[in-house]
Structure 1
Amino acid sequence: MSPLSATNVTTPALSASEFERLARSRLFQSPPALDAPIAPGDDDLDGRAASFPTDLTAAAVLVPVVAGSALSLILTERTEHLSSHAGQIAFPGGRIESHDATPLEAALREAHEEIALDPAFVEPLGYLETYRTGTGFIISPAVALVRPGFKLTPNPAEVADVFEVPLAFLMSEANHRIDSRIWRGAERRFYAMPYGERYIWGATAGIIRTLYRRLFTA
């Protein structure tokens, strides 16, 4: 485990209205281009490793922030039998299909399919930079507020569990760390944000890190 910085500070907790104003002012209102040269990715901490895929599949995820008395982020635990990212902590999301008009539409469709999140409760706020994964995806993260009153039901074919993590915890750089493991014969470093028994890492942690940077350091 590596510390990020000796100057880590705790990000102040925000109300739903404060978060909405901040997000609308700092997020992209249109999805960034998939071929943006500065897009963050799994290889950021390893100097853009040459072994990473170049032919990437377009995908989208919903970054759903629950507008409760204390903001929280909805995450899922993927089932163990999936072909990619099995058993990992993830945002609701998946491939962008030909019938999806925008990445947001794809993210909302996938969130409804995976956890039965009714789009009527979702207030889109904007996009983060696209994110490249070592498993061959280029992800468009769509950030949204989720109004109270929703009910979630995990689709057992894809989702083993659905849960919430306090946004204040995830937006505090003191809770971001750098871990490493051997992957495809080389050591890879990645962001991780363990929360209780949940090990949030890889692309999910990378997107959370991007959200933190976009909102609080941009």
Structure 2
Amino acid sequence: MNKPILKSDPVAAGAADFFARSRAKLGFDVPLGLYDPNIIPASGDPGTDKMLEIVAREQPVRPAAVLIAVVDHPEPTILLTQRSAHLNDHAGQIAFPGGKIDATDASPLDAALREAEEEVGLSRDFVEPIGYLDLYGTAFGFRILPTVARVRPGFELTINHSEVDDAFEVPLSFLMNPVNHQVHSKEFRGMERFYYAMPFAERYIWGATAGMLRVLYERIYSS
């Protein structure tokens, strides 16, 4: 299956409008499902949700945090990374800066900011957190809480190649255009699983990253 999920008009994702909408709709209340093992977070795809239920019976679903860093250019962008090819989890995939929440992190926000500094050298001085997006579950056993943030331009990145091969920016207008939200499928543990994909130039944005971008679109522009 490889088709747009919607045929609605594209969103005019200007910076001022996006940040105003985000501040009105997001906050910093931590959802109970981030740490409660009895709550299985949803992804929006029944196949992925079923896989997560299976994984949750086999191992703890681990809390994680990512940073949705929206760079405040005249035409805003989102900062993404390409994970190193040698990693055990999600090797080579497109991702947001982020990772597992450590016991020493004061909050999921703190974890997301720490991971962004460690992975790509994004200084907190350039980051203005806006609020948490919805909790997102993955079939690989993570419960992810994304932090949406405004990032002031002018930062310099230092790539940690033990974790990340590259960092790049994609226009917000492309990612928030539902015409670009394709639905692909693959077999996982004998079940057909559907997932979002947003191919951009030579970058294949898919899986949890594309799923969270879809949630961002629905929360900021559709709700």
1:129 aligns with one of 127, 134, 142: 134
> CA offset at residue 29 of structure 1?
2.7
TM-score after normalising by structure 1: 0.93
Structure 1 position 23 matched with structure 2 position 30: no
What is the match of residue 4 of structure 1?
A: 5
**CA deviation after TM superposition for structure 1 residue 193, in Å:** 0.4
Aligned mates of 1:59, 1:217 — CA distance in 2:
26
Q: CA deviation at 1:161?
A: 0.6
CA shift for structure 1 position 144: 0.2
CA distance in 2, matches of 1:64, 1:145: 6
Q: Does 1:62 align with 2:67?
A: yes
Q: Which sections of structure 1, spanning at least 5 residues, go unmatched?
A: none
- CA spacing shift, 1:8–1:115, aligned 2, 3 Å: same
Q: Distance in 1 between matches of 2:47 and 2:119?
A: 32
Partner of 1:145: 150
Q: Deviations over 1:181-214 (max 9, x none)?
A: 1222322110000001100000000000010000
1:20 Cα offset (Å):
1.8
Matched residue SS, 1:53: helix
* Equivalences for residues 81-160 of structure 1 within 5 A: 81-160=86-165
Q: How far is 1:154 from its partner?
A: 1.2
- The 10-residue stretch of structure 1 (185-194 or 155-164) with the greater mean CA deviation from structure 2: 185-194
Name the aligned partner's letter for residue 14 of structure 1: G
What is the alpha-carbon root mean square deviation over aligned residues? Answer: 1.7
CA contact 1:123–1:144 (8 Å) conserved in 2: yes
2-structure distance, mates of 1:47, 1:166: 27
1:38: how far off? 8.2
Report how far residue 176 of structure 1 moved. Answer: 0.2
Residue equivalent to 1:40: 42
User: Residues 10 and 45 (structure 1 numbering): CA distance in 2 closer, same or farther, change over 3 Å?
Assistant: farther
Between Structure 1 and Structure 2, how many residues are aligned? 215
Tell me, in whole angstroms, the C-alpha distance in 2 between the residues paired with 1:102 and 1:142: 11
Q: How far off its partner does 1:146 sit? A: 0.5
Task: Report if the CA contact (8 A) 1:39-1:129 is conserved.
Answer: no
Q: Residue 178 of structure 1: which of 173, 176, 183 is its match?
A: 183
Shift of residue 10, structure 1, vs aligned partner: 0.4
Contact (CA 8 Å) 1:45, 1:190: kept in 2 or not?
A: no
Cα distance per residue 1:58-90 (max 9 Å; x no partner) = 000000000011100000000111010001000
CA distance in 1, matches of 2:205, 2:77: 15
Percent identity between the two aligned chains: 48
Tell me which of 173, 182, 203 is aligned to 1:168.
Answer: 173
Pairwise CA distance, 1:18: 2.5
Q: Secondary structure at the match of 2:12?
A: coil
Secondary structure at 2:147 match in 1: strand
Aligned mate of 2:55, from 36, 53, 65: 53
Of 200, 209, 217, which residue of structure 2 is paired with 1:212? 217
Relative to total residues, which structure has the larger helix share, 1 or 2?
A: 2
| Residue in structure 2 matching 1:73, options 69, 72, 78 | 78
